[in-house]
Chain A
Amino acid sequence: MDNGQKIYDLIHPKLLSGEVVTLDFSGVRIFASPFMNVAVGQLLRDIDAETLQRLLIIDQDKITQVGLSILRTVI
């Protein structure tokens, strides 16, 4: 969760200011739902889904199937 908070703290202000952010999970094998919840899920508190869809890019070729599934579950 600490790592998730670090990600959130980095990307949240950029997204709020309208910047496009790309998350690259290359090399990450193990994804825990608390990490995804904190890093990405909590963005939905103050950024709407449409805006996140436009600004937050997650390269689906650079994340494992399990990681992507956990991300979808969290969202």
Chain B
Amino acid sequence: MSRITLAGYLNDTPQGFESLYNIRQQFERTGDSHILDFNDCQFLGQNAIAYLAGLLQLAKLQKRGVSLSLKGCNPKVKAHIEANALLEAFKDGQQSKAKSTSVPLRVNKTYAGDFSQYLEKAWLEGRIYPQHIEQILPCVLEVYQNVFDHARSPIGVSVCGQHYPNNETLKITLVDFGVGIPATVREFLQNPSLAPEDALRWAFESGNTTKREGLARGLGLKLLKGFIQRNHGVLEVYTDGALMRMDKTNEQFSPYAQAFGGTIVQITLMCDSKYYASIFEENSNEPLF
């Protein structure tokens, strides 16, 4: 049995994400059973909860034993793990009962029809104005749908969020352990030498989709970007070899050294209503067709 130490601040900074990838690499490299040791862990962000839950789901699929060591653990970290029922969460469809500022961890191996209600009730309701919920919900729903359409993730998707009332932000992180966006785009474009950051940029261009069967979409990310820009929020996408970060003034695609086998989408929203200009143009009297 190998011991994997989770130390320091596992937050949603680049260093925090890098620590999570290192944990996955250790997990892949060593043994059939593991202990995740939280003794030196000082902070566990919603991205870490979602990522670790995904890892636990992967362990289950690969028939590896995993246990958590919480002896001597920071009490706040322990409370966060227990509130999100991290050990139980890798049962498919299980949703935890988290404390009031948490958006409960949820792991879905297949598309769940009630995900929209989860987003609305657990993430948004009571935190942003009701009329804004109907703007943001379709955008995030499409990110969720994209995992099942494109990612080929054996765990499906793992989702967790957090409300930070002190700085009035609301975050949600979606994690899959699929093939990564660059691989999907390269395969679709039949261009194996396409740089990962260019592949990611292609994926974000309106109208582009790698979905072959059914009706092509390619609108969801455009709508999401529009909403986040007007909201003064932040959109971050980490995927194999590439990183995208977008805020109100800047959109950047860059190479990313870590190839962790999957995609993380993290959305940060501002809760204050002053940040909610509509993403949609005023409806005109022009004919629809």
The answer to whether A7 has its CB under 8 Å from any CB of chain B is: no
Chain B residues with CB under 8 Å of A37's CB are 215, 217, 219
Q: How far is the CA of A59 from the CA of B138 in the complex (A)?
A: 21
> What is the interface residue range for chain A against chain B?
20 to 34
Q: A66-B280, A72-B283, A73-B223 are known contacts. Are A33 and B288 too (CB-CB below 8 A)?
A: no
Contact indicator A69/B281 (Cβ below 8 Å): yes
Chain A residues with CB under 8 Å of B135's CB are 66
Q: A49-B289, A53-B288, A64-B134 are known contacts. Are A33 and B219 too (CB-CB below 8 A)?
A: yes
Distance (Å) between the CB of B147 and the closest chain A CB?
A: 13
Interface positions of A from 24 to 46, Cβ below 8 Å from B: 29-34, 37-38, 41-42, 44
The answer to whether A21 has its CB under 8 Å from any CB of chain B is: no
**Proximity bits, A40-74, B CB within 8 Å = 1, else 0:** 01101000011011001010100011101111111
Q: How far is the CA of A64 from the CA of B173 in the complex (A)?
A: 28
- How many A-B pairs have beta carbons closer than 8 Å: the answer is 70
Q: How many residues of B contact A (CB 8 A)?
A: 22
Distance (Å) between the CB of B112 and the closest chain A CB?
A: 13
Contact indicator A53/B287 (Cβ below 8 Å): yes
- Main SS class of interface, A: helix
Residue of B nearest to A40 (CB): B288
The answer to whether A75 has its CB under 8 Å from any CB of chain B is: yes
Contact of A30 among B116, B145, B288 (CB under 8 A): B116
Q: How far is the CA of A37 from the CA of B149 in the complex (A)?
A: 15
**Proximity bits, B215-255, A CB within 8 Å = 1, else 0:** 10101100100000000000000000000000000000000
Residue of B nearest to A3 (CB): B113
Contact indicator B138/A70 (Cβ below 8 Å): yes
Chain B residues with CB under 8 Å of A33's CB are 138, 142, 217, 219-220, 223
Contact indicator A38/B281 (Cβ below 8 Å): no
Chain B residues with CB under 8 Å of A65's CB are 278, 280, 283
Residue of B nearest to A41 (CB): B215
Distance (Å) between the CB of B286 and the closest chain A CB?
A: 8
Chain A residues with CB under 8 Å of B142's CB are 32-34
Q: How far is the CA of A1 from the CA of B217 in the complex (A)?
A: 11
**Proximity bits, B262-289, A CB within 8 Å = 1, else 0:** 0000000000000000101101000111
Distance (Å) between the CB of B228 and the closest chain A CB?
A: 16
B120, B145, B215: most-surrounded residue (chain A CB, <10 A): B215
Residues of B within 8 A of A (CB): 116, 120, 134-135, 137-138, 141-142, 145, 214-215, 217, 219-220, 223, 278, 280-281, 283, 287-289
Residues of A within 8 A of B (CB): 1, 29-34, 37-38, 41-42, 44, 49-50, 52-53, 56, 58, 60, 64-66, 68-75
Top 5 nearest A-B pairs (CB, nearest first) are A69-B280, A49-B289, A32-B138, A33-B219, A53-B289
